[in-house]
Structure 1
């Protein structure tokens, strides 16, 4: 190994080129700082290359198939494919991923951000080393941002992934559509996997370890369960996996559900896994950086670690593991490094899932609000009462709004149905502004539109909704 004798001085070093990392790098560069980004693998991170973006390519394919099936209702001829051309779908995924990755590279180049390939490790609180093949370089920095993300594992079993036992984003690396797929999970990732592969022709079975899905509001969860059953996806609740046996041709899973002992046999077994911070090679102790019991890095509202000149963003932190949060934290890091007063607030971040009907949620559920001591009001508006839902043939779903009873301050928006993902941004804005019922109900809403379901849900808090019985 070739080791440099001297530490090259750098201004700002960002470790990791995922969503949080490259946003931090670009924002700091916009504010006049000289930035070096260190990436050991692919710029864009796991979100772009392995999980978020590939997942949405699959769910978009499922949505396109759904639209084709509806076409005859409007007098349109639609010849449904006898089978899905999986190789073409994979090619589309690669085109999207590669095109987006090129876009990130172009942005970094545009802002004159130096990109160094290699694996970084701290040597002290002001120095780090970068190893690539037989070379090792030393860098001294003024500020650093840790954005190395997380990986997925199965508790008690390590990774244990094979061609048939899949964890995290590995489901999107398959080379053919599995005939059968057992999914163990109730989070938004598992629900998207179930939706996409069911639409592509896989016989999907969903095992939920809790009594009911817990990813969203209770009303949304109830509607999700109904849609799963309507789509003829087998759902088992209160599941405990007891034994997994893999052969050359299949995988057999023994589990206990509320119905008793059951067995499933098929092509692939998927669990989303638990997040584990990618910090094992960083030598955080050399920089004096504290971690929590699980190894994640605690941060303050300015995304600083206990070493105030070193920042951490995204999945490597103790924050919820969502790309939207990583993006926001990355921008905050860049702005604080650039001399601005900036901070992030975890209250109103959106959680989405592009399932059979898209799901979107922000803020507190009724149960969470009650636990925090609020006296609450809630209003639920079904999409069956929405005029544009009838036009689009999309009358499934609902919108639910939670407010503080005394003040009318809005606490949470939860929806499943057409347009939910696109419309959640308006709800996030209301929550961020501390908006009240009157603030969300007063403005004009386009007519006819899915948006009116949100308006009527808010109006329902004061018994003013016109189409709510």
Structure 2
């Protein structure tokens, strides 16, 4: 290793080139800061190279294959052949490459300096960057830690064998698995189960009844109904007892929530998405930086750590380990550095899944609202009663609205079905702006369109949904 004798001076350094890191870098440059971005591996981080983007290629193809199978009812003669996974992976690689190149060019256009290497703290205003045999020292005015997180194995896995996969590894397989076992009920597990079943795999999904799926209770029930309809086998488990791997596949011995021992066999076993902050190699302990009991960096409202010139964003901080949080914090932290007073409010957050059909769950669930002691009205409008859903044949699902019975404020909007992801942004805006029932009923809605289901769901709060017969109106007051 060659140690640099000169200490290089920098204004703002960002460690980590994932969504949060590069968003902070570009926004910092836009605000007039001189920015240096240090990335150990590849720009885009886990999200672009391993997680969000690669997985959504598969969920999109799974959705389109399902749609292709429905074309016969429109008089379109089509034959859906087996998926060519090699071509799919070629396309996935192409998409990742295009997006990564785009981010790199945006950094260059904004005069963001990109340095490849592994960074570690030498002091409160000094880091070392190692790149193969080169080691350079940088002094800085401000620094942002955006190193993300890494996968860890669940306790029941003693060693990672060839047929035990982290979720991101599932989207790197070169052959479609005949039988796939997926453990988990978060959005990643649900997306994987949904998309691989659509692609032709025989899928078994293991869920834990004591923690439950992550959406409103009615959404969870509907998703499980659709999974059953699509021949996804769902097992409510209490405990995984043993895992045995052989040449042909893997065998899981588990205890169900009904205290029955069952054996599930498959080609591969996907463990739950469990992650922890990636901090070990940063050397922050020598700085005396404060961490939470769970090992996350403690920050204030402006993403500042216990050390005044050091900031942290994304997965290394408490809160959802999701790209949108890192991006939001990344933009806000540089605004704070230049003297602005940005706000990052994680009260109302998007909880979405690219399943088939997709899910968007925003705001309070019915259970959460009742637990808070709110008096609520609840209305659920089935997409089967929506004109455009009937035209497209996308009739699975519904929109559920939860309203405060005291002041008519919308407390939650939950949707499963076609258009859920696209409409989730509108749901978020309505809740952020403290919308009331009248705010949703007043505008003019495009006809025909999925958006009309939102209007009728709100109208249903008072039993006034036009396209539901009186016997089917599902508005309730609690």
Tell me by how many angstroms 1:211 deviates.
Answer: 5.4
- Is 1:143 matched up with 2:133? no
SS in 2 for 1:238: strand
Q: Distance in 2 between matches of 1:42 and 1:19?
A: 12
Q: Please list, as runs of the form range in 1=range in 2, the aligned pairs for 1:227-376 lying within 5 A after superposition.
A: 227-259=226-258, 260-376=260-376
- Post-superposition CA distance 1:6-58 (Å, at most 9, x none): 42111111110100110011111100000000000010010110010111100
Tell me by how many angstroms 1:159 deviates.
Answer: 8.1
Q: Which residue of 2 aligns with 1:453?
A: 453
Q: Please list, as runs of the form range in 1=range in 2, the aligned pairs for 1:40-439 lying within 5 A after superposition.
A: 40-81=40-81, 83-156=82-155, 160-210=159-209, 213-259=212-258, 260-439=260-439
User: CA 1:411–1:37 in structure 2 vs 1: closer, same or farther (change >3 Å)?
Assistant: same
Q: Distance in 2 between matches of 1:387 and 1:212?
A: 37
Do the aligned residues in 1 keep the contact of 2:209 with 2:257 (CA within 8 Å)? no
User: CA 1:283–1:157 in structure 2 vs 1: closer, same or farther (change >3 Å)?
Assistant: farther
The TM-score, its normalising length taken from structure 1, stands at 0.96
Moved more, 396-405 or 33-42: 396-405
Do the aligned residues in 2 keep the contact of 1:384 with 1:395 (CA within 8 Å)? yes
User: CA 1:168–1:72 in structure 2 vs 1: closer, same or farther (change >3 Å)?
Assistant: closer
Q: Distance in 2 between matches of 1:299 and 1:159?
A: 34
User: CA 1:9–1:431 in structure 2 vs 1: closer, same or farther (change >3 Å)?
Assistant: same
SS in 1 for 2:315: helix
Structure 1 runs not aligned, ≥5 long: none
Q: Compute the RMSD of aligned alpha carbons.
A: 1.6
Do the aligned residues in 2 keep the contact of 1:23 with 1:334 (CA within 8 Å)? no
User: CA 1:273–1:226 in structure 2 vs 1: closer, same or farther (change >3 Å)?
Assistant: same
Q: Please list, as runs of the form range in 1=range in 2, the aligned pairs for 1:12-31 lying within 5 A after superposition.
A: 12-31=12-31
Do the aligned residues in 1 keep the contact of 2:154 with 2:272 (CA within 8 Å)? no
SS in 1 for 2:423: helix
Do the aligned residues in 1 keep the contact of 2:24 with 2:330 (CA within 8 Å)? yes
SS in 2 for 1:324: helix
Q: Distance in 1 between matches of 2:168 and 2:161?
A: 13
Structure 2 runs not aligned, ≥5 long: 474-478
- Post-superposition CA distance 1:53-106 (Å, at most 9, x none): 11110011111111111111112121211x110100101100111100000001
Q: Distance in 1 between matches of 2:307 and 2:167?
A: 31
Q: Distance in 2 between matches of 1:168 and 1:160?
A: 16
Do the aligned residues in 2 keep the contact of 1:125 with 1:286 (CA within 8 Å)? no
Tell me by how many angstroms 1:157 deviates.
Answer: 5.5
Q: Distance in 1 between matches of 2:251 and 2:171?
A: 21
User: CA 1:129–1:418 in structure 2 vs 1: closer, same or farther (change >3 Å)?
Assistant: same
Tell me by how many angstroms 1:222 deviates.
Answer: 0.3
What is the count of residue pairs matched by the alignment?
A: 468
- Is 1:39 matched up with 2:29? no
